[in-house]
Amino acid sequence: MKRPKLFAGRARLALLYRRWFFSMLCCVLAVGCSILPALAQSPDAADSATAPADSGSRSHSVRIPGSDAPISLTQALPFLRLLEGSQSASAYKYSAVPSHPAMLAVPEAAVRAGSATNAASGPAASESSEPALQADASSMALQPTAAANGAAPPVNAPAAAPVKPDKPARIPVLNYHSITVDPGNPATITPEKFAEQMRYLSKAGYTPLTLKQFSDMMEGIDKGPDKPILLTFDDGYMDNYEHAMPLLKELGFHATLFMSPGMVDDGYFMSWEQIKEMHEAGWDIQPHGMTHPHLPKLNVKNQKFEIAEAKAQIEQHLGTVADVFCYPYGEWNAATLQLLQELQFKYAFTIEQGLTAPSQHKLKLKRIFANGEESLEQWKSRFEK
């Protein structure tokens, strides 16, 4: 086993900061995505494993799924203004100072939810519109009755091909990041807690899928196992190699790693040698951008490089087909979707919260954020009814 090099002085500090920054951003975005459906009480939220059952969002506080820390209405005020339409997403993004870290993600979350709502009228409508800062937030939230009584079309539903009746309703796709000890960072999970979760899955009879099995189930080619689950790991942290790979091997579990070839072997991320070893141990390796960029901030040419080059390098190093994407920070725009289609990607995973279903747009699939601060019971409740 190749161990990470030890860096001294500034270089190590810079790497530590970078790793913390990535994991915190992923966490903040995921939590932000969780809160939106909770507020909106949309049909999507009703389907979501993460939708809170309590009515806290309509009384005095907003509870973030997976967190014990409620946000007061005062803290949520800029967010609510955004939803009501009394403040534009751009004004929120650039002028408001969110008083809770989870609020930082709201404009992007609103944009995605707005785009998803647009998608209900067909893929063309979604893809011809610019998701950036064009969310019709007022149509999404503060209208729980209309949404809950089925008046609104299901979010994401009509974009995919017709669903055969024997297809599975939903597949939990769990989203892990770093497996390490980092108190206060819910995007990380301790090796002990991770092992507890994996052993639970094994004991409870879950079958972690390969991407081929996942695809066959999504396409209705195969019914799949009784209790399917897809384990995904973002970014390619060295600790995935150290803690996840041996345990998953022992349990006979498959998993999927979304990695950025531009970050390979820099001390905190795996080397190609290690990635190859994971692939041979039953992991699917798929792209997460070359350098983990904020894709919507790039022009089309640079987005294409980030996506196509990451795909090419993985295919070259491993001799496989890399056609399943995972959006860095969960961010995408119309150009991203267009590029993924041109490059013939079959699926793309977001950080929108919920079980994954064949009815969802294939390039906007949901996942379930594995919050490292949750108890086993809380974690289970996200995908078990």
Residues that bind Zn ion (CB under 5 A): 234-235, 328
Residue closer to Zn ion, measured from CB, 44 or 234 = 234
Least Å from the CB of residue 328 to Zn ion? 5
User: Which pairs count as long-range contacts for 11-18, CB under 8 Å and 24+ apart, including other chains?
Assistant: 12/267, 15/266, 15/267, 15/268, 18/268
Least Å from the CB of residue 175 to Zn ion? 10
Residue closer to Zn ion, measured from CB, 92 or 233 = 233
Task: Tell me how far apart the alpha carbons of residues 331 and 183 are, in angstroms, rounded to a whole number.
Answer: 26
Q: How far is CA 102 from CA 15, 162, 191, in A?
A: 24, 36, 25
* Neighbouring residues of 52: CB distance < 8 A, sequence distance ≥ 6: 38, 63, 65
Least Å from the CB of residue 15 to Zn ion? 16
Q: How far is CA 164 from CA 91, 161, 217, 218, in A?
A: 44, 9, 11, 10
Least Å from the CB of residue 126 to Zn ion? 23
Least Å from the CB of residue 268 to Zn ion? 13
If you write DSSP's letter for every residue of 185-244 in order, what string do you get? -TTEE-HHHHHHHHHHHHHTT-EEPPHHHHHHHHHTS----SSEEEEEEEE-BHHIIIII
Residue closer to Zn ion, measured from CB, 47 or 235 = 235
Q: Which residue is nearest to Zn ion (CB)?
A: 234
Least Å from the CB of residue 179 to Zn ion? 14
Q: How far is CA 136 from CA 129, 133, 150, in A?
A: 12, 9, 19
Residue closer to Zn ion, measured from CB, 157 or 189 = 189
What φ, ψ does residue 181 adopt, rounded to 5°?
-100, 110
Q: How far is CA 341 from CA 180, 193, 337, 363, in A?
A: 36, 38, 6, 9
Residue closer to Zn ion, measured from CB, 43 or 293 = 293
Angle of helix 9-40 versus helix 73-84 axis, rounded to 10: 70
Q: What share of the chain is helix, strand, coil (3-state, %, to 5)?
A: 50, 15, 40
Token readout for 269 is 């991320």
Least Å from the CB of residue 23 to Zn ion? 8
Task: Tell me how far apart the alpha carbons of residues 45 and 366 are, in angstroms, rounded to a whole number.
Answer: 12
Residue 286 belongs to what H/E stretch?
strand 283-287
Residue closer to Zn ion, measured from CB, 19 or 93 = 19
Least Å from the CB of residue 331 to Zn ion? 10
Residue closer to Zn ion, measured from CB, 159 or 270 = 270
Residue closer to Zn ion, measured from CB, 328 or 354 = 328
Least Å from the CB of residue 258 to Zn ion? 7
Q: Which of 12, 66, 4 is nearest to 35 (CA)?
A: 66
Residue closer to Zn ion, measured from CB, 127 or 235 = 235
| Furthest CA-CA distance within the chain | 60
